[in-house]
């Protein structure tokens, strides 16, 4: 019987272009790590969080890792006492799916500890329950963090998930300016209503985007990444944000937009070479606005959550 | 030098499911026919219209066939006097792209008469100019009537058209109840604004629909044909309409919705056999509401406009 499992779940870009609340993408190389161990005490106990600067609650009813672990045990119909140790690799409120990564790593590790009674797909529900507590009931971070790649959330109730193909060579840049933008504030910037003609523009964009993913037509993909509603409403909350998006296009990116609820931005590029130039241009634009920013480059086609054979050293 | 050309353009289903104003489909076997002949008199002259019950204007500035012919000559930079004869195979205000079929047949025949200086794709603009005069500036009837098949209008300005693949065996039923529903009245039934959450639902539906076209997943296609905005707003204008949509699903159709601005309805089916049962169920539902209705079955994958070697007899 396994006594302890460690899992890593990646960062994700949700609200991908015109895919507000419905398209998300997994990123390679940055994410959260959770170690789940059997305990003789019933219930879910969060014993340590590293890398959060002391900001996250240890209360298991308020932490997405603990909620997701608890919901996974419930979904499996099991009874198990566990302790969790969480290593945050992702900054909070950065727009890179930080809460989702914690939830997904915890749910996946817990399921492994239980002997894998649930499929990955079955973990989306438990992770969404965790997201609902902190960030709203949506799946465009947790689904790609679990499944990897590019994921369309056709419906959350009932859950209906479609994995989309990714054009070869497509590369993602994420740029995170040093500021926090609470999801609540980003949601408040959105219009409650939009014109019908704007909906037509939005449906045309996302339809073209999905078509481009299947056909590999990067020129079409480029034309379809602009989002007529959400990015214009939110970009003003991010100092230097619009300049950084413009700089990405000037540097040759196929398109650029806000990652999740921001303040991170993402750009899609034809190649690693183009991604490097784009990352440089975007961080410079933020610096010009007085915000230091870090960038990360990843293939667009990345795996989701995975088991680590060794727990991080700090645990 | 050719002195006369006859062309046939098919009926089309615009506003396909969640594809309001952006997705249209060509139908086989029903449409309009236009004969264009050289004339020594400069300008475009509409000399005869058959099959319209005397309802359409012969004034070339008000008839879509004449406007499209005139715009085609202009786009080709040519100077040519022509006479047009129009045979309406499609009823007016039926939601089957009647005005577009006339425009497309005329533009195509005129271009042939000029020695084909323009590609089919170049005729979309001239045909949209014609549509703008009678039905609003949209391309989701004229593009499939020209190109055939299933067409996504990503943008009308600049024009950006994507042909979508069609799952094998997919069959369309169109059912036309004996009533006229002016496009103006159907447009007036639409909301001017919608909630942001409704936009999310609409983008998720059309994204899933496009994915299903590429992957051939008919179950996904079936889940993605419901439209959260336009069909609910308009179906009350068509007596028996909601019952006919319900009857289509009960009979095994993958999905059903309003064709164009109505009153015709369409259903997508897995096979001709399923389409026959669906057509029967839908016409029965209309009859129960006191409206006689005719049905037509077509493969979903149909050619667009084509030349006819012989003009219709009535000319």
Residue B208's closest chain A neighbor by CA?
A154
A101 touches chain B (CB under 8 A): no
Is B194's CB within 8 Å of A191's CB? Answer: no
Provide the strand spans (E) within chain A. Answer: 4-13, 23-38, 44-50, 82-87, 150-156, 159-164, 171-177, 193-195, 255-258, 265-269, 293-299, 306-308
Task: Quote the tokens at residue B42.
Answer: 């400069």
Task: Quote the tokens at residue A40.
Answer: 């003789």
Measure the CA–CA gap between A111 and B172, rounded to whole angstroms: 45
- Could you give the C-alpha distances from B155 to A194, A205, A223, B72, B151, in angstroms and in order? 19, 8, 10, 21, 12
Which residues of chain A are within 8 Å of residue B164 when distances are taken between CB atoms? 211
- B195, B204, B224: residue with CB nearest A153: B204
Measure the CA–CA gap between B272 and B295, rounded to whole angstroms: 13
pLDDT by residue for chain B (315 residues), tens digit each? Answer: 789 999 999 999 999 999 999 999 999 999 999 999 999 999 999 999 999 888 888 898 999 999 999 999 999 999 889 999 999 999 888 899 999 999 999 999 999 999 999 999 999 999 999 999 987 889 999 999 999 999 999 999 999 999 999 999 999 999 999 998 888 899 999 999 999 999 999 999 999 999 999 999 999 999 999 999 999 999 999 999 999 999 999 999 999 999 999 999 999 999 999 999 999 999 999 999 999 999 999 999 999 999 998 777 654
Active site residues of B: 131, 183
**β-strands A44-50, A82-87: how paired?**
parallel
Is A211's CB within 8 Å of B21's CB? Answer: no
Residue A15's closest chain B neighbor by CA?
B200
- Output the pLDDT for position A200: 97
Which residues of chain A are within 8 Å of residue B214 when distances are taken between CB atoms? 210-211, 214-215
Residue A78 three-state SS: coil
- In contact, A15 and B196? CB cutoff 8 Å: no
Catalytic residue list contains A131 = yes
Which residues of chain A are within 8 Å of residue B215 when distances are taken between CB atoms? 214
- Output the pLDDT for position A50: 94
Confidence of residue A314 (pLDDT cuts 50, 70, 90): low
| d(CA B162, nearest CA chain A) in Å | 8
- Output the pLDDT for position A2: 85
Residue A21's closest chain B neighbor by CA?
B200
- Output the pLDDT for position B314: 55
- In contact, A38 and A107? CB cutoff 8 Å: no
Q: What is the DSSP string of B78-145?
A: ----EEEEEE--S-TTSSS-HHHHHHHHHHHHHHHHTTS-S-GGGGHHHHHHHHHHHT-S--TTHHHH
Give the per-residue SS3 of A131-179: HHHHCCCCCCCHHHHHHCCEEEEEEECCEEEEEECCCCCCEEEEEEECC
- In contact, B280 and B173? CB cutoff 8 Å: no
ipTM for the whole predicted complex goes beyond 0.90 = yes
Is B210's CB within 8 Å of A207's CB? Answer: yes
- Output the pLDDT for position B93: 83
B17 touches chain A (CB under 8 A): no
What is the average per-residue pLDDT within A241-257? 98
- Output the pLDDT for position A38: 96
CB-based burial of residue B38 (10 Å sphere; 0-12 exposed, 13-18 middle, 19+ buried)? middle
| d(CA B11, nearest CA chain A) in Å | 22
Residue B158 three-state SS: coil
Is B207's CB within 8 Å of A20's CB? Answer: no
Task: Count Cβ–Cβ pairs < 8 Å, chain A vs chain B.
Answer: 121
- Output the pLDDT for position B315: 43
Is B162's CB within 8 Å of A211's CB? Answer: yes
Q: What is the DSSP string of B1-38?
A: ---EEEEEEEEEE-SBTTBTTTEEEEEEEEEEEEEEEE
**β-strands B44-50, B82-87: how paired?**
parallel
Measure the CA–CA gap between A193 and A133, rounded to whole angstroms: 25
What is the average per-residue pLDDT within A93-105? 94
Task: Quote the tokens at residue B21.
Answer: 């104003």
- In contact, A266 and A298? CB cutoff 8 Å: no
Confidence of residue A55 (pLDDT cuts 50, 70, 90): confident
- B193, B196, B229: residue with CB nearest A190: B196
Quick one: which of A175, A185, A230 has its CA closest to A206?
A230
The percentage of residues in chain A with a pLDDT greater than 70, rounded to a whole number, is: 99
Confidence of residue A67 (pLDDT cuts 50, 70, 90): very high
Is B203's CB within 8 Å of A19's CB? Answer: yes
Measure the CA–CA gap between B84 and B70, rounded to whole angstroms: 11
Confidence of residue A184 (pLDDT cuts 50, 70, 90): confident
- Output the pLDDT for position A315: 43
- In contact, B60 and B46? CB cutoff 8 Å: yes
Residue of A71, A129, A131, A283 marked active site: A131
Per-residue DSSP letter, B290: T
Which contiguous run of DSSP H or E holds residue B297?
strand B293-299
- Output the pLDDT for position B108: 98
Residues 6 or more apart from B48 whose CB is under 8 A from it? B85, B86, B315
A226 touches chain B (CB under 8 A): no
Residues 6 or more apart from B238 whose CB is under 8 A from it? B177, B179, B181, B244, B258, B262, B263, B265
A194 touches chain B (CB under 8 A): yes
What structural domains does chain A harbor? 4-165 (3.30.230.10), 171-299 (3.30.70.890)
Task: Quote the tokens at residue B19.
Answer: 């594809």
Alpha-carbon torsion, ordered B70, B72, B76, B81, to 10 deg: -40
Is B194's CB within 8 Å of A193's CB? Answer: yes
Q: Best mutation site among A23, A165, A207 for testing chain B: the one with the most B CBs within 10 Å? A: A207
């Amino acid at each position: 019987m396994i006594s302890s499992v460690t899992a890593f779940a990646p960062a994700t870009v949700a609200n991908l272009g015109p895919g507000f609340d419905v398209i998300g993408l997994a990123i390679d190389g940055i994410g959260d790590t959770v170690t789940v161990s059997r305990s003789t005490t019933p219930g879910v106990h969060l014993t340590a969080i590293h890398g959060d600067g002391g900001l996250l609650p240890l209360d298991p009813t308020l932490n997405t890792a603990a909620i997701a672990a608890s919901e996974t045990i419930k979904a499996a119909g099991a009874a198990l006492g566990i302790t969790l140790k969480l290593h945050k690799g992702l900054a909070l409120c950065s727009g890179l799916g930080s809460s989702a990564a914690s939830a997904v790593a915890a749910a996946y590790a817990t399921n492994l500890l239980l002997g894998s009674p649930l499929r990955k797909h079955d973990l989306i529900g438990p992770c969404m329950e965790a997201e609902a507590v902190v960030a709203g009931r949506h799946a465009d971070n947790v689904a790609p963090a679990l499944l990897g790649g590019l994921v369309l959330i056709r419906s959350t109730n009932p859950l209906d998930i479609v994995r989309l193909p990714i054009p070869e060579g497509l590369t993602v840049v994420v740029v995170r300016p040093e500021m926090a933008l609470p999801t609540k504030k980003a949601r408040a910037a959105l219009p409650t209503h939009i014109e019908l003609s704007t909906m037509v523009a939005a449906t045309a964009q996302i339809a073209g985007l999905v078509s481009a993913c299947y056909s590999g037509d990067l020129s079409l993909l480029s034309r379809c990444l602009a989002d007529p509603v959400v990015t214009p409403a939110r970009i003003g909350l991010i100092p230097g944000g619009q300049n950084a998006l413009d700089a990405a296009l000037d540097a040759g990116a196929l398109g650029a937009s806000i990652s999740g609820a921001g303040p991170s931005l993402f750009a899609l590029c034809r190649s690693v070479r183009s991604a490097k130039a784009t990352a440089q241009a975007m961080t410079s634009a933020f610096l010009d606005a007085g915000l230091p920013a870090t960038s990360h480059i990843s293939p667009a086609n990345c795996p989701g959550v995975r088991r680590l054979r060794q727990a991080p050293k700090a645990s």
